[in-house]
Amino acid sequence: MTISIEKTVSWRDIASVAAGENFVLSEAAQQRIAEARRIVEGLVESGVRAYGITTGVGALSDTVVDRAAQSRLSRNIVLSHACGVGPLLSAREVRAVIAAQIANFAHGHSGVRPEVIRYLTLFLNEDYIPDVPSKGSAGYLTHNAHTALVLIGEGHATVKGDRLTGREALAAIGLQPLELVAKEGLSLVNGTACATGLSSLALSRAENLLDWADTIAALTLEAAGCQMTAFDEAVLALRSSAGIAKVGAKLRDRLAGSSIIAAAVGRRTQDALSLRSIPHAHGAAWDVFDVTGRIVDQELASVTDNPAVAGTPEDPLVWSEAHAVAPALGQAADSLAIAIAQIAAMSERRIDRLVNPLVSGLPPFLASDAGSHSGFMIAQYTAAALVNDNRRLAAPAATDGGLTSALQEDFLAHPTAAANKLLSILDNAEYILAIELMAAVQAQDFLCDTLSPASGTKIVRDLVRSRVARYDDDRPLSCDMEALRQLIATTTPPDSPSD
């Protein structure tokens, strides 16, 4: 499959490219890019004062740069802005950023040459991954600059598994370093491509994780002998929420025909909230997910370069604006981070209900020989530690503020930091849900000796048991956690047989 840019793309398109799909530009998009370049050339010819084209950048925006120095300005912007630190972004994350950057240029208001787009597209299609440090962007500049470094033969990149210098990496795919011209350096470090690309990837991961969260919760509900009346369609319809209705329908479908559930009818007046309010918490996360997706799509449909060019080569226009600032994007990523952190925290509470002999009605800590075996005792500790980590990460980045560039940039929205935090919370949440899945299946191992599970949960249990065996304190439990985390991260839950 190849993703083609006509007018705009969606976050799902960006996530598909991040996962390995190729990227191409339609003829119309190529024409828009070429026309924008001609407009920039018209601005250079006219000598009009234009931010980052005929002036410096940031606090140097009133310093005029003569025509002879404009190419040097572009190169120097890239070199001076490549200030990232810390671990490198993953290949999927870098691909997402590059794809979002190409999509931004394709609107036809940036003015980079088609040759620049050709190089960036080849990076995606030739498995060419620039080294991009994960930390250092108050907004977007450092991440984008590290991507741009390899265009000019600097920095490093990995090509088909081999890490090379920028110049060597270009040669490996048949390219020479580019000499940047007016505005290209600024456009390459500018815009919200970094936060938008990372948010697109986070949305893809969050959608899969939420689907697994609903599925795993169903296994726990069954093992706990939940009171299903709380999830009746008419009951849930009393609270208006598309997310609640969605989760309720999935739980009813997944648990249909369970003799374990049937045997528990009337056992309690009502279940604990970590069980009874699954549609409410998971449904809220699905609702936030939908809103976040719309905001990321809105970002991809927007021009986020500053300045933006328009008009014609004969009558060029340049607009200095603040479209590279993305408060909505940062707030959306913060909101989804909070939602995922809450889902993971609820999952840890359900883990405790499965392993805690005071409330579970199951062998203590799901151990096959309580006393000589500890079972899942410390796995719950691990989940609790990750929940605490998420609580710290869930503090909103959008309220951090900060002052940069000698007061010229005296408001910062931090969308990239918000996206990075969201990705970290997703990492932790995958492990927490893996532990719940592991515990829920172990609980079912005890129950299914005498009662029959729902077909919708049995198919999940069988899948898990094809990856990890029943736990008898006979091996390091972390290996099972890794195996099930990988299952959650890379696959979708199996459909109920009734689907």
Known catalytic residues? 51
Look at residues 85, 103, 80, 88 and name the one whose alpha carbon lies nearest to residue 24: 103
Query: What is the rounded distance in angstroms from the CA atom of residue 146 to the CA atom of residue 45?
Result: 30
Which region, left, alpha or beta, applies to residue 403 given φ > 0 means left and ψ of -120 to 50 means alpha?
beta
Beta-bridge partner residues of 64: 55
Query: What is the rounded distance in angstroms from the CA atom of residue 206 to the CA atom of residue 15?
Result: 12
Look at residues 137, 138, 280, 299 and name the one whose alpha carbon lies nearest to residue 147: 137
Which region, left, alpha or beta, applies to residue 363 given φ > 0 means left and ψ of -120 to 50 means alpha?
beta
Other beta carbons less than 10 A from residue 30's beta carbon: 17
Interaxial angle between packed helices 141-149 and 70-81, expressed in degrees from 0 to 180 and rounded to the nearest 10: 110
Query: Hey, what are 132's tokens?
Result: 């991009």
Q: Quick one: how far is CA 229 from the chain centroid?
A: 35
Three-state DSSP state, 486: helix
Whether 14 and 34 have beta carbons less than 8 Å apart is answered as no
Look at residues 494, 495, 446 and name the one whose alpha carbon lies nearest to residue 466: 494
Query: What is the rounded distance in angstroms from the CA atom of residue 380 to the CA atom of residue 220?
Result: 14
Residue 423 Cα distances to 257, 275, 334, 398, 430, angstroms:
37, 26, 11, 16, 11
Query: Tell me, what amino acid is at 187?
Result: S
β-pairing, 2-5 with 22-25?
parallel
Query: What is the rounded distance in angstroms from the CA atom of residue 268 to the CA atom of residue 278?
Result: 17
Look at residues 353, 378, 376 and name the one whose alpha carbon lies nearest to residue 472: 376
Whether 271 and 206 have beta carbons less than 8 Å apart is answered as no
Look at residues 148, 158, 153, 185 and name the one whose alpha carbon lies nearest to residue 71: 185
Query: Tell me, what amino acid is at 26?
Result: S
- In b/e form, how buried is each residue of 254-291, taking b as 16+ CB within 10 angstroms? bbbbbebbeebeeeeeebeebbbbbbbbbbbbbbbbee
Phi, psi of 404 (to 5 degrees): -140, 165
| Residue tagged 């026309």 (tokens) | 35
Residue 356 Cα distances to 58, 352, 436, angstroms:
58, 6, 13
